[in-house]
């Protein structure tokens, strides 16, 4: 049975609920969000946080319990008078979502539960193959992950989230990728093809926006309502969170930092721009690091190769890092001047100590360059590392179905837009 109803209304913080029957579904989503942020809460806690009456919160709790979305975790003994309060939390096995991160240099698929925990994964570190082969890889990976669920749990799958760059065939020169591999993708509606192959609803978003949704839903967004999100992968992606909601922009490409204009790179390995300016992607991306590690060869180091070079302290990594920081700093300063967000969250596809160094240096550069009477934004590490893209994708069905702020992603419609078509919000029930 579907969870058809209003798509939700925007708010800030924990939000304020309504006792109107017309907003019942919104209030259910609000309660789920409060539990997601708090971890555990009593009925009285939920009523206060959502500004709902005891009767209204009781009815909502009963419905959510019946639907298997929340569970009782025992009594809270706080030493006060009266009966101990029953504590509630999200039921991890109450809903499931698949996430597919489709990139120019790899395909990752994960299965997550309602608490955002990764149950299973599959990854292919390779230059993206032709569409038919790539879609078959995604289909087989999803079928394999299906086996991790019981038949009853499979009826609680909310769909597949698909996160991919806005245009797979763009910026290939800057990334050092072969154009012939990507030309066929110009004619493919990946979301529709994947939906046809799997017979599951597909929710597609820009990969930077999807990763920002994961950070909002399961990471730093539990405590922060306003931040600029950056993900350094083969390219660089971004997302914008304002007032606890995702800002998509007219075409779904808000915070597309990859195309921010920057001065040309000083690295000899970087391609020369056609004009006076280059774009951030050329300098602040792992594609740029890979190109600098293997200049002129056309080879694409694997993620493991990049981490080995970072851990080994190769001088090329330090050279790229200098160039990356010099490009990121004015980009973030410009974003801060326009948006006035207090926090920048940065995550990365590799580790090996790279991100720790990058964050410290970036914070120092922003503070040194802060204009008079203005504070530099804080810089924080993202929550998910190389899982951010795939988990962001898997967050999309959850966000569409269970967030009280889903109106921005659905354009304010009363049905979720999947591949451009109206579709009721879904949660299969037993």
Q: What is the pLDDT of residues 306-349, one digit of tens each?
A: 999 999 999 999 999 999 999 999 999 999 999 999 999 999 98
- With 0-12 CB in 10 A as exposed, 13-18 as middle and 19+ as buried, what is 336? buried
What is the average per-residue pLDDT within 134-146? 96
Question: Is 411's pLDDT higher than 70?
Answer: no
Question: Is 180's pLDDT higher than 90?
Answer: no
**Confidence tier at 3 by pLDDT (50, 70, 90):** very low
What is the average per-residue pLDDT within 116-124? 92
Question: Is 400's pLDDT higher than 80?
Answer: yes
Q: What is the pLDDT of residue 415?
A: 36
Q: What is the pLDDT of residues 185-202, one digit of tens each?
A: 878 899 999 999 999 999
**Confidence tier at 302 by pLDDT (50, 70, 90):** confident
Q: What is the pLDDT of residues 258-287, one digit of tens each?
A: 999 999 999 999 999 988 999 999 999 999
Bridge partners of 124, per DSSP, are: 107
Q: What is the overall mean pLDDT for the chain?
A: 85
Question: Is 8's pLDDT higher than 60?
Answer: no
CA distance readout (Å), 83 to 57, 76, 78, 86, 421: 18, 9, 10, 9, 50
Residues 6+ apart with CB under 8 A from 419: 189, 191, 192, 195, 202, 204
Calculate ∠ Cα 426-427-430, nearest 5°.
140
What is the average per-residue pLDDT within 343-364? 95
- With 0-12 CB in 10 A as exposed, 13-18 as middle and 19+ as buried, what is 124? middle
Q: What is the pLDDT of residue 419?
A: 38
Question: Is 79's pLDDT higher than 90?
Answer: no
Q: Return the higher-pLDDT residue of 10 and 78.
A: 78
Asked which of 143-157, 335-349, 387-401 is least confident by mean pLDDT, the reply is 387-401
Q: What is the pLDDT of residues 209-265, one digit of tens each?
A: 999 999 998 999 989 999 999 999 988 999 999 988 889 888 888 999 999 999 999
Q: What is the pLDDT of residue 100?
A: 96
């Amino acid at each position: 049975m579907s969870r058809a109803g209003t798509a939700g209304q925007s708010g800030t913080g924990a939000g304020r609920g309504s006792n109107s029957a017309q907003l019942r579904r919104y209030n259910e989503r609000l309660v789920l969000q409060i539990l997601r942020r708090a971890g555990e809460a009593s009925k009285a806690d939920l009523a206060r946080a959502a500004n709902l009456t005891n009767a209204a919160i009781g009815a909502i709790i009963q419905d959510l319990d019946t639907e298997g979305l929340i569970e009782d975790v025992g009594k809270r003994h706080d030493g006060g008078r009266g009966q101990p309060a029953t504590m509630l939390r999200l039921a991890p096995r109450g809903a499931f979502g698949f996430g597919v991160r489709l990139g120019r240099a790899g395909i990752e698929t994960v299965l997550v539960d309602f608490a955002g925990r990764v149950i299973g994964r599959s990854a292919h570190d390779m230059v993206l193959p032709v569409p038919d082969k790539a879609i078959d890889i995604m289909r087989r990976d999803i079928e394999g992950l299906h086996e991790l669920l019981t038949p009853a749990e499979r009826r609680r799958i909310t769909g597949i989230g698909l996160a991919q760059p806005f245009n797979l065939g763009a910026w290939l020169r800057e990334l050092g990728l072969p154009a012939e591999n990507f030309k066929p993708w110009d004619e493919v509606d990946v979301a529709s093809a994947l939906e046809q192959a799997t017979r599951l609803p597909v929710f597609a978003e820009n990969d930077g926006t999807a990763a920002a949704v994961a950070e909002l839903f399961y990471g730093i967004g539990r405590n922060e309502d306003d931040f600029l999100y950056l993900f350094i992968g083969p390219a660089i992606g971004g997302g914008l969170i304002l007032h606890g909601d995702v800002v998509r922009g007219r075409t779904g490409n808000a915070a597309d930092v990859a195309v921010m204009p920057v001065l040309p790179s000083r690295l000899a390995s970087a391609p020369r721009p056609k004009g006076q300016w280059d774009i951030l992607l050329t300098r602040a991306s792992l594609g740029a690091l890979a190109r600098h590690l293997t200049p002129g060869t056309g080879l694409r180091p694997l993620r493991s190769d990049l981490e080995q070079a970072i851990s080994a302290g190769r001088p090329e990594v330090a050279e790229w890092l200098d160039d990356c920081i010099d490009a990121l700093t004015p980009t973030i300063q410009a974003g801060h001047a326009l948006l006035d967000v207090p926090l920048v969250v940065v995550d990365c596809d590799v580790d090996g100590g790279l991100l720790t160094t990058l964050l410290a240096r970036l914070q120092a550069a922003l503070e040194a360059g802060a204009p008079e009477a203005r504070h530099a934004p804080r810089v924080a590490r993202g929550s998910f590392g190389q899982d951010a893209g795939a988990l962001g994708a898997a967050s999309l069905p959850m966000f569409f179905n269970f967030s009280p702020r889903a109106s921005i992603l659905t354009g304010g419609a009363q049905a979720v837009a999947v591949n451009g078509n109206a579709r009721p919000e879904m949660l299969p029930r037993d």
